Amino acid sequence: GVANVVVIGGGAGGATAARYIAKDGGDRVRVTLIEPSRAYYTCFFSNLYLGGLREFDSLGHSYGTLASMGVNVVHDWAVGVDRDAKTVSLAGGASLPYDRLVISPGIDFKEGAIPGWDLSAQNAMPHAYRAGSQTELLKAQVMAMREGGTFAIIAPPNPYRCPPGPYERVSMVAHTLREINPTAKILIVDPKESYSKQALFEDGWQAHYPGMIERIGPDFGANIVSVDPAAMTIDIDGQVEQVDVCNVIPAQMAGRIVHEAGLTEGDWAPVNPADMSSRVDPNVFILGDAANQGDMPKSAFAANSQAKVCANAVLGALTGSRVFPARYSNTCWSLIDTEDGVKVGATYEPTEEKIASVDSFVSEQGESPEVRAETYRESLGWYDAITEDMFG
């Protein structure tokens, strides 16, 4: 008979898994993708839009190609998973049976992570950490900032989606402010001692945006922070800062549906490193940010890489096709200024315990402008290739 695969979430992990399972499963597998949005706006490259280097529309991708290649795209929310009956229930009331379930819902924010902030405050203090209207709102606020005003960013604690993301954002906001508001300041309030590619970012900020960017770390109370969105203030361990734009990126956890399905241990979902199947239920696979993915960072590249391993395993189980040993890879590019691109990456293999890094690389300090421009061009090629690999 025909086997049913249901995929929850049409982002980096879910769209890739749906596409590969439908493409290679032929008429032996029926794939249904559940995704509430009609268009997916990528978080990746959204900082370049904040920097004025990318059009907003270029970040949007629709599901039409997936539908025309045979994926049944249902625009709805998955609200429950009955793992005994093997069904997924939707907000619209339907119930879908599955033989294998793939879940890639991304992140949700932990409630109460930044006292004073919740979803009702996200217009006054946007997160822009799920892309779309939030990204546009943050850009509009940067463009409208008063002369010499302060842009503040409250960075999240580890682990979170896109480790270099907040710092690439600082770079791109600085790039915009240097042009339209050169006396403006950027304040980073960071609960972490250190962060991804820190030396590269700090060198770049000093070279391109001298005197504009200040960072407060945990030594100065940046791990004890609350906000008042009505007053536009940040309280840093008793010291109150008045700011003009406040980008709050709260602590994160796996998307709610994974918790509701009983697949988490703490904030994230434990998975088998060999194939991304849940350690709790072998018929369910969890991809991307929601998974506890060992040494891999929470990135679109990682989610896409995991989705291909998962698709191979799902098809092996349902059609008897050949299953290859898992191998994962990731690269995270960041843009510091026009054509000043840096990167960090690794390849990974499964061990019993986790997805383990086997070799890694990172851009060096003091590289020539030619090398940095080449790194940036590489990232442009990557964006086009990976969005085609996800959405067709």
Residues 117-136 interacting with ligand FAD (rule: CB under 6 A): 129
Minimum Å gap between C-beta 123 and ligand FAD is 18
332 sits near ligand FAD (criterion: CB under 6 A): yes
Choose which of 2, 37, 364, 378 interacts with ligand FAD (CB under 6 A): 37
Nearer to ligand FAD, 129 or 376 (CB): 129
| Rounded Cα–Cα distance for residues 276 and 24 (Å) | 18
For ligand FAD, the binding residues in 140-169 under the rule CB under 6 A are 161-162, 165, 169
- Which CB sits closer to ligand FAD, 116 or 126? 126
Determine if 20 is a binding residue for ligand FAD (CB under 6 A).
no
- Is 12 an interacting residue with respect to ligand FAD (CB under 6 A)? yes
Residue 249 or 318 with smaller CB distance to ligand FAD: 249
Contact flag: residue 391 with ligand FAD (CB under 6 A): no
Q: CB 79 → ligand FAD: shortest distance, Å?
A: 7
Q: Report how far residue 204's alpha carbon sits from residue 210's, in angstroms, rounded to the nearest whole number.
A: 9
What is the rounded (10 degree) CA torsion for 253, 10, 17, 74? 130
* Residue ranges in 262-321 that form contacts with ligand FAD under rule CB under 6 A: 287-290, 298-301, 303
| Residues in contact with 34: Cβ distance below 8 Å, sequence separation at least 6, in sequence order | 6, 7, 8, 9, 10, 74, 76, 77, 78, 88, 90, 96
Q: Which is nearer to ligand FAD, 25 or 164 (CB)?
A: 164
Site size for ligand FAD (CB under 6 A): 39
Q: Quick one: CA torsion of 127, 168, 236, 289, rounded to 10 degrees?
A: 50
Closest separation in Å from C-beta 331 to ligand FAD = 8
Is residue 340 a contact residue for ligand FAD (CB under 6 A)?
no
Of the residues 20, 44, 63, 268, which one makes contact with ligand FAD according to CB under 6 A = 44
Burial of 319 (0-12, 13-18, 19+ CB in 10 A): middle
Q: Which residues contribute to the site for ligand FAD (CB under 6 A)? A: 8-14, 34-37, 40, 43-44, 46-47, 77-78, 104-106, 129, 161-162, 165, 169, 255, 257, 287-290, 298-301, 303, 332-333
